Chain A
Amino acid sequence: MMDQAEVGAAAEEEACRVLRAEGYLIVARNWRTRFGEIDIVARDGEVLVFVEVKARSSSGYGGAEGAVGRAKQRRIIAAAKAFLAASRCELAARFDVVAVEGNDVRLLRDAFQVDDVWPSS
C-alpha cells in the first residue's frame, strides 16, 4: 500500500507520459511558490499549459475533476501568475487538469479560467 505522496508522485508520472503522448513539452514539474504549487508546466504548441494532476482511487465523490474546487483553482492561478512573472513568458496560457483514477487517465483541456474564479476581474 502506497502512502498519499507516493500515490501523487505516481499519478504525476503517469500524467507526464500522457501529456508527452499528446505532444506536450514538459517545462517544469512541481513548481512551488508560497501561494501555491503547480504540478506540471508544459507547452502545447504556442500555448503555455499549467496542469493540475488529481489522483483518486475510485470514481466516487464526483471523480477527480470535481476535486479541483474554487480554493484550489485560486492557488493554482496565483502560482501561475508568479510563474509568468518569473519566466517573463508572454505566451497565451491555459489550465488543464489530468484526472488519474487507477488505470484510467483523462486529460481535461482548458478546465477553468481566471474569470470563473474572480468573475468581476
Chain B
Amino acid sequence: MFGHLLSGVVVGVEAKLIEVQCDVGGGLPSFQIVGLPDKEVSESRERIRSAIRNCGLTFPPGRITANLAPADLRKQGVGFDLPIALSILMASGQIGVPASRLLIVGELGLNGDVRSGRGILALALEASRNKLDGMMVPADNAAEGDLVPALCVYPIQSLYEAIAVLQGVWPPFVRDVSVTAAGEMTRRPVEHDLSEVRGQAAAKRALEIAAAGGHNLLLIGPPGAGKSMLARCMPELLPPLSFDEALDVTRIYSVAGLLSADEVLVRRRPFRAPHHTISYAGMVGGGHGIPGPGEITLAHRGVLFLDEMPEFDRRVLETLRQPLEDQSVTLARAGVSVRYPASFTLVGAMNPCPCGHLGDESHSCTCAVQDIRRYRRHISGPLLDRIDLFVDVPRLAPEELMDTPLGESTDTVRERVARARDRQWERADVAGTSSNARLGPQEMRVHCRLDAEGSQLLRRAITRFGLSGRGHARVLRVARTIADLVGSGDIGAAHLAEALRYRSASLLRDS
C-alpha cells in the first residue's frame, strides 16, 4: 500500500519541493527513511511512531519505507515528521487520499503536537510559485506563511488537525489583512536620530551620500568621536523597505531562526554590527550540514557595520571582497552548494592608529611608526579599493560639544536620500542598475559625463592622488550621487570636487 504527499526542504534561502512517498508492505516490522536523510531526519522515526500511537491511531505492522524524492538532494531539518506520519497513515488506509495538493511541514512532538520550525516563509513562497492548493504550517508560524499573497494557509497544532485538514473538514486560516497589505508598511519612530550626533557635519554629509548611492564608507577617528553613533543612524537614512524587499529580508531571518514572535515581517533595514572576534563562518556563513547564513547575508538590504575594523581577523575581512562585488555569496560544501544574497552597504570604523590619537590636537599619539603601519595593514589594498568614501571623524572641541545646535534630523535627510534614489531608479529603467555604487562602465559613460572644467579637475586629481582605474571610477560614481542629491542631471565641477574630498582622508595621505 502506498501513500504520497508534498513537503519541502530549505537549501539556503530557497525552498525545494520534496515528494514524500510511503510504502507499507508485508514482512518483519521495520521503518526506514531513504532519500539522503540527515541524522535529524532519520531520528524522526521515533517521534513519528510515538506521535501516531499517542493520537490513538495505529502504527501499521510490517515493513515501512518512506522515501524523500528527489533522492539526490540532502534532506535536513525536522519538518518531515508530519508529512511522513501522514503518508504512513495514508499508506495504511487510516486516512483517505486528500483532494487538494498541500505543502506539509512540521516537527512532531511525542504526543502528536506540531512544533514551530524555520524557513516557513521560503517554503510558502515555493508553494505559491508551484501553484499548490495551500500549505500546512505549524500554528506558531502561521503568520509567516500568511505573508505570501494568494496562498491558502492552514495552521496546524497537532497531528489530529493535520488529518482534519487532509480530509477537508478543517477551514483555512482567516487572513490577517493588517500584516499582508503592502500599504500597511507604516513607519516607526526613528530609533537613532542623526540630530543626536553633535557636530561632525562632514561625516554626516558622507553618511547621506553613502545612503543615497549605496556607497561603502569608512569612518576614521579617535575613540569617542561618534563613529558608532553615526553608523547606527545609517539604516534609517535609507528609504524604507518595500514589501517585496521586506519579504526578501524576512525569508533570510526565517531561515536563520531569528524572527521574533511579535515582528513577523522584518520592516526595519537590517543593521548588523558583529564583534571583531567573529569567525570566518560567522561572517560569510557556514556550519554543519547545509551551511547557514552569515552576517553579510543577515545584513542583506541593510548595513554591515564593522567597528574597530583593523581588529578583525584579516582572513575574515578578505572574505568580504567577493560578496562586495557580487552582492551574494556562494558556499560550496561536500554535496551542497548554497547561494545567499548579500547586498549590503559596508560601513567601517577605525582609529587612525593603535592608540587612537594620531592627528588629535589635544592628545599626542604614542604609537611608533611601524605600529601604525602594521595596524593599517590589517585592511588590505583590495578591500580599501572597494570603499568609496573615506571620512575623518575628529574629536570635538569642548565648545562644539556644548554649543553646537542640533543638526538636521534623520527624517529631513532621508527625504533628500529618497529623492536621489528615485532619480537613480528612473535612470535604471533605461540602463538597468539601480544604485550609483553599482554602475557599470557602460552606464558610467552615459551618466557620468563631465564638462570641460570637470575633466580638467579630474585629470589633475588622477596625477595628484595617484588614482587607479578603479579609484577613478569610484570618484565618478560618488560625484554622480552628489549630483543626484541636488537633482542635477550633469556632474558639475563642484560635485566632483566634493567627491574627491572623500579620497583625501588622513588614512590615505599618511600611509
Residues of A at the B interface (CB closer than 8 Å) are: 47, 77, 80-81, 84, 89-95, 110, 113-115, 121
Contact = CB atoms under 8 A, between A and B. Distances in A.
Contacts of B59: 110
A113 B49 CA distance: 11
16 contacts: A80-B28, A81-B28, A84-B27, A91-B62, A92-B24, A92-B27, A92-B29, A92-B60, A92-B61, A92-B63, A93-B28, A93-B29, A94-B62, A114-B28, A115-B30, A115-B45
B380 interface: no
Contacts of A91: 26, 62
Contacts of A115: 30-32, 45
Contacts of A94: 29, 61-62
B223 interface: no
Interface of B: 24-32, 45, 59-63
Contacts of A77: 28
Return the 9 tightest CB-CB contacts between A and B, nearest first: A92-B62, A114-B30, A94-B61, A90-B26, A92-B61, A113-B29, A47-B61, A115-B30, A114-B28
Given A92-B61, A93-B26, 17 more contacts: A47-B62, A80-B28, A81-B28, A84-B27, A90-B26, A90-B27, A91-B62, A92-B25, A92-B29, A92-B63, A94-B29, A94-B62, A110-B29, A114-B28, A115-B31, A121-B30, A121-B32
Contacts of A89: 26
B32 A110 contact: no
Nearest to B63: A92
A84 B26 CA distance: 10
B172 to A, nearest CB: 36
B26 to A, nearest CB: 4
Contacts of B32: 115, 121
Contacts of B29: 92-95, 110, 113-114
A84 B62 CA distance: 12
Contacts of A93: 26-29, 61-62
A80 B29 CA distance: 11
Interface hub of A92, A93, A110, A114 (most chain B Cβ within 10 A):
A92
Contacts, number: 46
Interface of A is mostly: mixed
A25 to B, nearest CB: 15
Contacts of A80: 28
A95 B63 CA distance: 12
Contacts of B24: 92
A121 B31 CA distance: 9
A80 B367 CA distance: 81
Contacts of A90: 26-27
Contacts of B28: 77, 80-81, 84, 93, 114
Contacts of B26: 89-93
B55 to A, nearest CB: 15
B176 to A, nearest CB: 43
Nearest to B27: A93
Nearest to A113: B29
A93 B24 CA distance: 11
A41 B63 CA distance: 18
B148 to A, nearest CB: 38
B30 A110 contact: no
Nearest to B26: A90
Contacts of A95: 29
Nearest to A91: B26
Contacts of A121: 30, 32
Nearest to A111: B29
Contacts of A92: 24-27, 29, 60-63
Interface hub of B27, B31, B32, B61 (most chain A Cβ within 10 A):
B61
B60 A113 contact: no
A60 to B, nearest CB: 28
A79 B59 CA distance: 23
Given A92-B63, A93-B61, A94-B61, A113 B27 contact: no
A109 B398 CA distance: 84
A80 B25 CA distance: 16
B59 to A, nearest CB: 7
Nearest to B60: A92
A32 to B, nearest CB: 18
B28 to A, nearest CB: 5
A91 B26 CA distance: 5
Contacts of A47: 61-62
A89 to B, nearest CB: 8
Contacts of A84: 27-28
B91 to A, nearest CB: 11
B66 to A, nearest CB: 12
A120 B23 CA distance: 18
A86 B22 CA distance: 28
Contacts of A81: 28
A94 B59 CA distance: 11
B479 to A, nearest CB: 65
B36 to A, nearest CB: 15
B404 to A, nearest CB: 71
A92 B32 CA distance: 15
A81 to B, nearest CB: 7
A81 B29 CA distance: 11
Interface hub of A80, A89, A95, A114 (most chain B Cβ within 10 A):
A114
A47 B63 CA distance: 12
B286 to A, nearest CB: 28
A27 B61 CA distance: 18
